[in-house]
Structure 1
Amino acid sequence: MAGTVNQLPWRKVDGAPLCWLLPPRCVVCGDPGLPGCDLCEACRAILPAPRHACPRCALPQPRAGTCTSCTAAPPPLDAAHAAFAYTFPLDRLLPRLKFHRDFAAGRVLAQAMVDRFTGLPRPQALVPVPLHPARLRQRGYDQALELARPLARALHLPLHADLLRRTRATRAQSRLDADARRRNLLDAFRVDACGSALPHHVVLVDDVMTTGATLHAAARALRAEGVTRVEAWVCARVA
């Protein structure tokens, strides 16, 4: 895969340098950041990039290859890629973006995703996994869109933020087991193409992949409308 985390131009995630009056501070430990970087050298070195992962579900594996679960029952995703494992410091940074409006952490995570996914086959569209309108009003922003927007800009990919809609206010997935997560998301998504032809190859963008239930439900909705290849790019994968 092209690039390494240590090569990231961290403060250029939106396509132009960000000018600050104060030196950058590490978003993990608060120490001074590297020049033009929102991470210090020590914290950047410990970002937990997995060595091997199942190409269908992104689950970390001891060796390269498709996991036994995906071999026995292929998921609706043609491929899934996670930039990192959901361990420290991702398990601190992602909740800060998701629940606490920490957009500095979001910039770091988005740029990390840019670097990790640069060498992957290019889709025809990036589609962030949407929040239900009620939850979006409550939170005020969509963390998946906050990651997808700079990712699309940096990789010069079309962003279709309105292609997929969440039609049911589902229960919080974090409180459910795997079977309940799947039931919770039945018919939760709808494709809204507004009369336009759908792209054939779509990549769903989300912050965290746990059991994959949310991404699988979104992928099924896209496939039902004729999308032929659906992948997922996520910031972190829970083992």
Structure 2
Amino acid sequence: MVVLSRLLHVAAATVLSQDCFLCGAPAGRRPICDDCRAELPWHAESVCPVCALPTADGGVCGACLRRPPGFDATWVAFDYAFPVDVMVKALKYQHRFALAGLFADVLVVPDGVDLIVPMPLHPRRLAERGFNQAVEIARPLARRAGVELMLEAVSRVRHTPSQAQLGRDERERNLRGAFVGARRLDGARVLVVDDVMTTGASLAAVAAVLKANGAARVENLVVARTPTPL
């Protein structure tokens, strides 16, 4: 039923005019109108190239210099603030699949990427939700960039408690052994796609698995970043 619902939502968004998800004004075939899109909380331009937290000069931040994460670079479209936080939750919990297309439209796949890997969900979470929002965002990105979308590169094999209230160290302990790799990726430059980045612990854990399987470089492409430092 979830798959059918997704197809119906996508078809409707493609064919029919719709009202803006945020203000209710006519938005044509897009999920939000131009006025609301212009008011979205776009992420700062001067950021650490590794973790995407704002820096004064766009250089690598002190946290990444002191304790480099497993990934090599991060690109972010928005701050995780109103109304982007509402849009992300609407995609995940209300099946507003047209918003996945909007998120994909504002993200840009860097040149030279060999593979796109969506952040995996544990099978239990996938069964509860019926879909993986990272896959829904990554699919049009991969198609537009002409880059292979690899769903089986990493699996989440341990169901972990909610990490919403955990700090970086607690998240890292929570994620130990949560991901496993299934494919050799010798020499590949891999782009991991996710919806929200908080401390970066999940992305770092996935990057460690990808590199253990031979990836030469792992980068993140994320819809929204919280202001929580790494």
TM superposition score category, shorter chain reference: 0.7 to 0.9
Give yes or no for contact 1:76–1:216 (8 Å, CA) kept in 2. Answer: yes
- Checking the alignment, whether the CA contact within 8 Å between 1:203 and 1:231 is kept in structure 2 is yes
Give the CA deviation at 1:146: 0.8
Supply the AA of the counterpart residue of 1:145: V
Match of 1:188 in 2: 178
**Post-superposition shift, 1:229?**
0.4
Cα distance 1:230–1:137, how it changes in 2: closer, same or farther (>3 A)?
same
Tell me, in whole angstroms, the C-alpha distance in 1 between the residues paired with 2:46 and 2:112: 21
Deviation at 1:38, TM superposition (A): 2.5
How far apart, in 2, do the equivalents of 1:200 and 1:178 lie? 28
Rounded to whole Å, the distance in 2 between the matches of 1:63 and 1:158 is 34
Check conservation: 1:83, 1:112, Cα contact below 8 A.
yes
Mapped to 1, the partners of 2:187 and 2:95 lie a distance apart of 32
Cα distance 1:190–1:208, how it changes in 2: closer, same or farther (>3 A)? same
Aligned position for 2:124: 134
- Unpaired runs of at least 5, structure 2: 1-9
Partner of 2:166: 176
Instruction: Give the 4+ runs in structure 1 shifted more than 4 A.
Output: 196-199
Q: Aligned-pair distance for 1:180?
A: 1.2
Q: Could you tell which deviates more after superposition, 23-32 or 89-98? A: 23-32
Instruction: Quote the offset at 1:199 in angstroms.
Output: 5.5
Which of the numbers 13, 18, 25 marks the counterpart of 2:14?
Answer: 18
Distance between the aligned counterparts of 2:166 and 2:64, measured in 1?
A: 22
Partner of 1:56: 50
- If the length of structure 2 is used for normalisation, what is the TM-score? 0.88
CA contact (8 A) 1:124 1:199 kept: no
Return the match for 1:76 from 70, 87, 98: 70
Give secondary structure in 1 for the equivalent of 2:221. Answer: strand
1:59: Cα distance to partner?
1.1
Instruction: Provide the secondary structure at the position in 1 that maps to 2:137.
Output: helix
Give the Cα separation in 2 of the matches to 1:70 and 1:90.
26
Q: 1:73 to 1:46 in 2, by over 3 A?
A: same
Using the size of structure 1 for normalisation, the TM-score is: 0.84
C-alpha distance in 2 between matches for 1:151 and 1:44: 19
Aligned length: 215
Q: Conserved in 1, the CA contact under 8 Å of 2:185 and 2:210? A: no
SS at match of 1:175: coil
What code does the residue aligned with 2:207 have?
A
How many angstroms apart in 2 are the aligned matches of 1:89 and 1:61? 24
- The answer to whether structure 1 residue 112 and structure 2 residue 106 are counterparts is yes
- Report if the CA contact (8 A) 1:82-1:235 is conserved: yes
Aligned partner letter, 1:204? V
| Letter of the 2:15 counterpart | C
SS of the residue aligned with 1:149?
Answer: helix
The reply to whether residue 44 of structure 1 matches residue 37 of structure 2 is yes
CA shift in 2, pair 1:192/1:72, >3 Å: same
Q: In the TM superposition, what is the alpha-carbon distance from 1:36 to its structure 2 partner?
A: 3.8
Kindly provide the amino acid, as one letter, of the partner of residue 237 in structure 1.
R
